[in-house]
Structure 1
Amino acid sequence: MTPRYVDHPGFRLVGRALTIRGDEAGTAVPAFWDRCIGEGIFETFARICGEEPPASYGLVDDADEVTGAWDYIIGVEADETTEVPEGWVARDYPARRYAVFAVEGPIPQAIQDAWAAILRNWLPNSGFVYDQCPSFERYTHEDPAALACEIWIPIRPVR
């Protein structure tokens, strides 16, 4: 598993959020995607962006070390003038360096397997530590027949 490294300038994400406990992630995240897709989230993304967005995100935020809960946000990049639909959230994320991993295989299992490999195998041996900023899955839509996914992990060098 070899990542590429990206210095991301920061961004605003607008989307739907669900609070999840870590032990529920394997079932709760795919179910949340199914529910949001069924409720027309991609049509709302197009309305928010004024066109079909180039990418959508599944972002992990606000982890609570005591309860093990965190927010999972399905969203799109937007600017500060974007009107946020009722019941949705808008969150700003700072510039950060990321290790970016391409995910290959059937979704969602390939994503779950990639996360496990990154956190258990790659990160401990990488010379980096997980930086305190949200990580995310970035889904590109260039080819309608094949959804492409990348996992973005915020990193900083071990000191």
Structure 2
Amino acid sequence: MNTLDSMNAAIEYIEEHLDKKINYQHAAQIACFSEHHFKRMFSFLAGIPLSEYVRRRRLTLAALELQENNMKVIDIALKYGYQSPDSFSRAFQELHHTLPSTVKQTGVSLKAYPPISFQISIKGDVEMKYRFVEKDAFHIVGHKEVMYPEDGDFNPTLWNTLTDADYAKLGTLEREDPNLSGILNITVNTCHGPEQSEEALEYYIAVVTNQTAPDHLAALEIPKQQWAVFDAEGEMPHALTSTWSRIYTDWFPTSGYELAEAPEIVKSIHDMKTEIWIPVQKSKFAFIF
């Protein structure tokens, strides 16, 4: 089994539970990812958020049942996770451009979204620059934000609230590191503090240091880890987001590696180059191409 196979197995689980409560954490475990990484991977591969895929699939099945059966609209609504006929009707009309009560009429046009399946696609010979780095444990100190992203959306408030003075103060704490110098953007896909929950993650703007964190800052110990380091070159943020997308859609499915349980790090080199540090480990599954 490879990355795409495990993603397809997770989609199969979701398909089997479209008329039930979907346990997204369990789906992520099937895919061998954290829930956050699973939703990000899905969004990169499918081009739409996972929640939108589930919404389209449920409303596709609902339309078929309304056409073929004599079930009441309220029963169909409850079956596919809507709390009232009104909320179901609004969602149904938004997708199909018609009301649920009209589907049996002759000539009514409906939309159908079939189940998704991920396959390897040959897109052309476009290089990706990366290297492997084995790094001992290190200590970071910086500003921390607890986030609850939906379907891989990522927009920390720290980006807009930190000042030049805040960054300058961080710089005074930094110790020299040959690989990870300067201000780092670090995402931890679990939450260690009192806000800990399955949906939460931690985001840091931080530096590598040997110093103890001042009262207004947070500290984190990052264990020894192997990293795949990718170069994102070009106009930012487009080069960064497109490289990140290719890591998930092109590199992981064919690399024989999988995500490890460690933070992801973004390091800016200059205005036109950024490094993306991805924690990796050899895949638990034999890769089959």
Q: Is the shorter-chain TM-score for this pair beyond 0.5, marking a shared fold?
A: yes
Q: Separation in 1 of the partners of 2:142 and 2:224?
A: 19
2:276 corresponds, among 148, 151, 156, to 151
**In structure 1, distance between residues paired with 2:245 and 2:140:** 25
CA distance in 1, matches of 2:167, 2:272: 14
Which residue of structure 2 lines up, in the alignment, with residue 72 of structure 1? 203
Task: Give 2:135's aligned residue.
Answer: 8
Cα distance in 1 for residues equivalent to 2:240 and 2:248: 12
Aligned pair in 2 of structure 1 residues 49, 156: CA closer, same or farther (>3 Å)? closer
The equivalences for 1:1-159 within 5 A come to: 1-23=128-150, 28-29=155-156, 31-36=157-162, 38=163, 40-49=165-174, 54-63=181-190, 67-79=198-210, 82-140=211-269, 146=271, 148-159=273-284
Residues 1:54 and 1:67: Cα distance change in structure 2 (over 3 Å)? closer
Note the C-alpha offset of 1:50: 7.7
Q: Looking at CA atoms only, which structure, 1 or 2, has the larger radius of gyration?
A: 2
Q: Name structure 1 gaps, 5 residues minimum.
A: none
Q: Is the 8 A contact 1:98 1:152 kept in 2?
A: yes
Cα displacement string for residues 68-102 of structure 1 (whole angstroms, at most 9, x for unaligned residues)? 331110100001xx141222111001111111001
More strand, by proportion? 1
RMSD: 2.6
Change in 2 beyond 3 A, CA 1:25/1:129: closer
What fraction of aligned residue pairs are identical, expressed as a percent?
23
CA gap of 1:109–1:19, structure 2 versus 1, over 3 A, is: farther
Unaligned runs of 5+ in 2: 1-127, 192-196, 285-289
Highest RCO, 1 vs 2 (Cα 8 Å, sep ≥ 6) = 1
The answer to which of 94-103 and 42-51 deviates more is: 42-51
- Taking a change above 3 Å as real, the CA distance of residues 24 and 158 of structure 1, as seen in their structure-2 partners, is closer
1:100-143 deviation per Cα after TM superposition (whole angstroms, max 9, x unaligned): 00111233332222222212221121100101111111223xx6
CA offsets, 1:28-68, max 9 Å, x none? 23x522322x25222112222389x932211111436x753
| 8 Å contact kept, 1:48–1:83 | no
Count, aligned residues: 149
Higher helix share: 2
TM-score normalised to the size of structure 1?
A: 0.79
